Amino acid sequence: MSYTTVMKGFVLATALLITACAQSPQAIKVAPEFPAPTQANGSDSPVHIRVSDKRADKVLGSRGGTYRDTSVITLASDLSLPVEKALSSYMAAMGYDVDSLNPNTTDLHVIFTSLVYDHPKEGGVGYDMDMLATVEVEARRGNEHYEGRYRVKRNQKFFNAPSNSHNSKMVNELVVEVLSSMFSDPRLVAFLQKN
């Protein structure tokens, strides 16, 4: 075997190794899909929904790899509008009168304060992703108001680094999970359904 052949093989192996260790940046499209509600208990309660993105850090995290500081995960666009549309459709399916002109309409303001999807720096067996989502809710109707805070945090281990499509799926599922947790708060639900 010639020296040239050996060198070509070495260069190819090195290139493959570098590629395997590098992760390209990814911008995720926010498109949350809520499951069909198990029951429609909104009782035609009027509600107006607003969503704001007040995250201090717009970067979700890093995909890891050799160049973790540049292999970042961000959102392709502001999350407010797509989340607002999806949440409005979901609440309408639950039986709420969404965007009603009723003077007793509840203003439901959902504020994202954190959204994290990050591969930690520490190595180990498998491929970990840390996930965190936090929202604050301000519900107001006339002189009445209710405030709540909802948080979802978990770690998931993968055998290999998740693909672009898997990352998108996991982030959108995280958004749905933290928003769904609001409806597990009986005090918020009671406030929304009070006429």
* pTM of the full structure: 0.84
CB 174 within 8 A of CB 152: yes
Task: Return d(Cα 187, Cα 23) in angstroms, integer.
Answer: 44
Q: What is the pLDDT of residue 4?
A: 54
The CATH number of 24-193 is which of 3.30.160.150, 3.40.50.2030, 3.20.20.120, 3.40.980.10? 3.30.160.150
153 phi and psi, to 5 degrees? Answer: -140, 130
pLDDT at residue 147 greater than cutoff 80: yes
What is residue 161's predicted lDDT score, i.e. its pLDDT? 77
* pLDDT the model gives residue 128: 86
